Amino acid sequence: MTTTSGGTDTHCPYCSLQCGMRLGAHTAGTADIPVVLERPEFPVNRGALCGKGRTAASLLTSASRLTAPLVRDRRGGPLREATWDEALDRVAGGLADVAERFGRDAVGVFGGGGLTNEKAYLLGKFARVVLGTANIDYNGRFCMSSAASANRAAFGIDRGLPFPLADVARAGCVILAGANPAETMPPALRYFRELRENGGRLIVVDPRRTRTAEQADLHLRPVPGTDLALALGLLHLVIAEKHVDEAFVTARTSGFEEARAVAMAHWPERAERLTGVPVPLMRQAVEMFAGAPTGMVLTARGSEQHSKGTDTVGAWINLCLATGKAGRPGSGYGCLTGQGNGQGGREHGQKADQLPGYRSIADPAARAHVARVWGVDPATLPGPGRSAYELLDTLGQDGGVRALLLMGSNPVVSAPRAAHIARRLRSLDLLVVSDLVLSETAALADVVLPSAQWAEETGTMTNLEGRVILRQAALAPPEGVRTDLQVLRELAARLGRDKGFPADPEEVFGELRRASAGGQADYAGISYRRIRAEDGVFWPCPDDDHPGTPRLFLDRFATPDGRARFAAVPHRPAAEEPDADFPLYLTTGRVVGHYQSGAQTRRVPELAAAAPGPFVELHPHLAGRLGVAEGELLAVTSRRGRAVAPARVTDTIRPDTVFMPFHWGGAGRANSLTNPALDPTSGMPEFKVCAVRVEAVRAEALRAEAVRGEVEKAAR
């Protein structure tokens, strides 16, 4: 029979909730099979896990994981197994060659928000010190970057939640805009339930009646891409109905007059016309929110992944500031960060414009500090590079990156206008991918480096609350697999840097502490020992005796004058609106059983069985018009491309909108359709709205025939 042994305290490999879990082992015969166990003491999830977390051990022993490096001898040829020495020599030689022929900035690095702090830090250092390139960015640009820039503008600092998640339960009213935690962070729902049990109200803003929206006291269903118009309409009503907290606005904010002027010119009736949300519902929302003693606005990707995401978040923050709901217990604006280390991954230097500790790479004092820690001359540090989509879009082009080291992302599935990005990746002189599995992107690489998994290496992650936690190694990686830190050390050595790239995570963390010291995201006082003893430590934590900072802004905001800044932002339309050729809105997002590009979760049999493939969600009215029934194939076409997937008919979606999850590559890839229009401040692409045409596949074939007929007729 099987027995289960004690286990190691660790955290889930997936989302930013970083649920605490214990990894034990079942002994079945002579084999030890890793198994996920509950860890009820960890405060954030208190033992609860979603299906992804519960099945997370499966990939550790999966036959589909990589256990040897792969190389391709010629373009178009097959990948074959290689020794580590051969693979690493090929990578180091190739990177050096491109740098020599095309300049250092022709070598690029693309990281991920799932990497530990130690990896993100060392990857940034590797790019700046070993490669000397400005061109490093990461997939977090596609995630919470708009909230990050709005947070910095308003509050002077970017920490997703300025309070522990449990504070949600103590708020009087919470507006959840563009977030679907019922699918994306199920254990977090507990706090929203407790909020309502305590008499607080929940308002959900989402074009779809999601499982989250079903639990709300009020559901507002804007047209995709119109949250900014909605937030302006709500601020107009707050002002018109005298809900402004004048004392708070005077004492703790700046810029109210300009924001007021914009909102007063934006009548609720105009907001209704743009958003489709009736004025009486807006009024109800304002009464609930402004009338509550405390309140929060929490946004996620639905509000943020737009070419105006920064302004939209700014408009939501305005609502908090005008009603005095910020900088006090139970109140504030927060962004629900997404990836496992979505918070820490954006603090320690894998961003194009950034150095560790959330420092700006353009700031001479920041450069001097970090250069000292790194033992280099500040003048040798490159300046800011291209943001993620711009970096990917110029791959293989004149003046663009020609050799790319990619670690922790699968852009062939997850980048906007993905077919174009796949073509760009193919045009590189050298593509190197470090991954656990042969993802769609790894499959295009010249060299694939098999990387260790979460439970096989130790490292810190910073969850959506700003709580730095420790993932402890529970077992050794299989033969043939190395950690990303080992890979960076080996590559650095081959490129002439024997020192400064330790493979021991705790040693890297020690250096990260020093590099971050004095920065905004100050980790100087955080140690592995403290994290173990304290269930995580909240940054900033500047020294060993500092308790950490669960709640920010209680006395002052982190701006130079201590005041939070209103944003004076008028509405503007989405980059692409429906028209006669593409008459519907497409929005995209997630389902509970899969994670991101699906590279990991599609290889977990239980998850693949529960959610086997992509689909197109559409309203019964639209289905009727198109003459399609549940399960029939639909072709969705945008100006970028086409995707085919079965229909899922549901009245939870607006009749003018279709929804696709983005977890699959191939014919049903949602990102064949999406629009890479970028937010000018954050570089965020417009994943959440573009214009499409939808047809039953049979109808589409007939139409194509007719078009061919027309063309032939015209040619005759």
Ligand X SMILES: Nc1nc2c(c(=O)[nH]1)N[C@H]1C(S)=C(S)[C@@H](COP(=O)(O)OP(=O)(O)OC[C@H]3O[C@@H](n4cnc5c(=O)[nH]c(N)nc54)[C@H](O)[C@@H]3O)O[C@H]1N2
Q: Which is nearer to ligand X, 177 or 371 (CB)?
A: 177
**To 10 degrees, the CA torsion angle through 675, 680, 684, 689?**
-40
Contact 589, 659 (CB under 8 A): yes
| Residue 183 or 311 having the CB closest to ligand SF4 | 183
Smallest separation (angstroms) from ligand SF4 to the CB of 57: 12
Q: Residue 409 binds what, of ligand X, ligand SF4, Mo ion, none (CB under 5 to 8 Å, by partner type)?
A: ligand X
To ligand X, the closest distance from the beta carbon of 376 in angstroms equals 26
Pairing label, strands 616-618, 564-565: unpaired
Which helix or strand (DSSP H or E) is residue 303 part of? helix 301-304
What is the C-alpha to C-alpha distance for residues 669 and 645, in angstroms, rounded to an integer? 9
Site for ligand X, rule CB under 6 A: 15, 112-115, 139, 142-143, 177-181, 183-185, 205-208, 210, 222, 224-225, 227, 300-303, 305, 338-339, 407-411, 413-414, 434-437, 439, 451, 484, 587-590, 592, 594-597, 599-600, 662, 670-671, 674, 687-689
Nearest to Mo ion of 129, 660 (CB atom): 660
User: Nearer to ligand X by C-beta: 205 or 366?
Assistant: 205
Three-state DSSP at 565 gives strand
Tokens, residue 219: 């559901």
Residue number, 184 or 462, with CB nearest to ligand X: 184
Q: How far is the CB of 429 from ligand X (least distance, A)?
A: 21
Determine the longest span between alpha carbons in the chain, in angstroms: 85
- Identify what 12 binds: Mo ion, ligand SF4, ligand X, none; CB under 5 to 8 Å per kind: ligand SF4
For Cα atoms 455, 456, 462, give the angle at the middle one, nearest 5 degrees.
Answer: 55
CB of 116 to ligand X, least distance (A): 7
Q: How far apart are CA 652 and CA 631, in angstroms?
A: 17
Least distance from ligand SF4 to the Cβ atom of residue 469, Å: 11
Long-range contacts of 384-387 (CB under 8 A, 24+ apart): 384/134, 384/352, 384/353, 385/105, 385/108, 385/133, 385/134, 385/135, 385/136, 385/137, 385/352, 385/353, 386/134, 386/135, 386/137, 386/352, 387/137, 387/141, 387/352, 387/678, 387/683
Nearest approach, Cβ of residue 300 and ligand SF4 (Å): 13
HEC assignment per residue over 638-659: CCCCEEEEEEEECCCCCCCEEE
The verdict on 112 binding Mo ion (CB under 5 A) reads: no
d(CA 396, CA 595): 29
Task: Select from ligand X, ligand SF4, Mo ion, none the partner in contact with residue 164, using the beta carbon and a kind-dependent cut-off of 5 to 8 Å.
Answer: none
Residues 453, 457, 460, 461, Cα dihedral to 10°: 10
Least distance (Å) between residue 49 CB and ligand SF4:
4
Quick one: what does residue 206 bind among Mo ion, ligand SF4, ligand X, none, with the CB cut-off 5 to 8 Å set by partner type?
Answer: ligand X
Options 101-109, 333-341, 388-396, 421-429: segment touching Mo ion (CB under 5 A): 333-341
Task: Compute the least distance from the CB of residue 595 to ligand SF4, in Å.
Answer: 7
Residues 298-327 contacting Mo ion, CB under 5 A: none
* Positions in the binding site for ligand SF4 (CB under 6 A): 12, 14-15, 17-19, 45, 49-50, 52-53, 185-187
Of the residues 37, 48, 71, 143, which one makes contact with Mo ion according to CB under 5 A: 143
If one asks whether residue 338 binds Mo ion (CB under 5 A), the answer comes out as yes
3-state DSSP helix/strand/coil percent for the chain, to nearest 5? 40, 20, 45
Only segment of 41-49, 336-344, 598-606, 689-697 that touches Mo ion (CB under 5 A): 336-344
**Distance in angstroms (rounded) separating the CA atoms of residues 525 and 530:** 9
Q: Of 306 and 590, which CB lies nearer to ligand SF4 in the complex structure?
A: 590
- How many C-beta atoms lie closer than 10 Å to residue 663's C-beta? 27
Q: Which helix (H) or strand (E) holds 220?
A: strand 218-220
- DSSP character at residue 477: P
Nearer to ligand X, 420 or 530 (CB): 420
Say if CB 263 and CB 235 are below 8 A apart: yes
The residue sitting closest to ligand SF4, measured at its beta carbon, is 53
Judged by beta carbon, residue 142 or residue 256, the one nearer ligand X is 142
- What is the CB neighbour count within 10 angstroms for residue 546? 15
- Cα separation, 673 vs 415, whole angstroms: 10
Pick 137 or 511: Cβ nearer ligand X: 137
Closest CB 421 distance from Mo ion, rounded Å: 17
Pick 559 or 652: Cβ nearer ligand X: 652
Q: Shortest gap between Cβ of 101 and ligand X (angstroms)?
A: 27
Smallest gap from Cβ 385 to ligand X, in A, equals 18
Residues contributing to the site for Mo ion (CB under 5 A):
143, 338
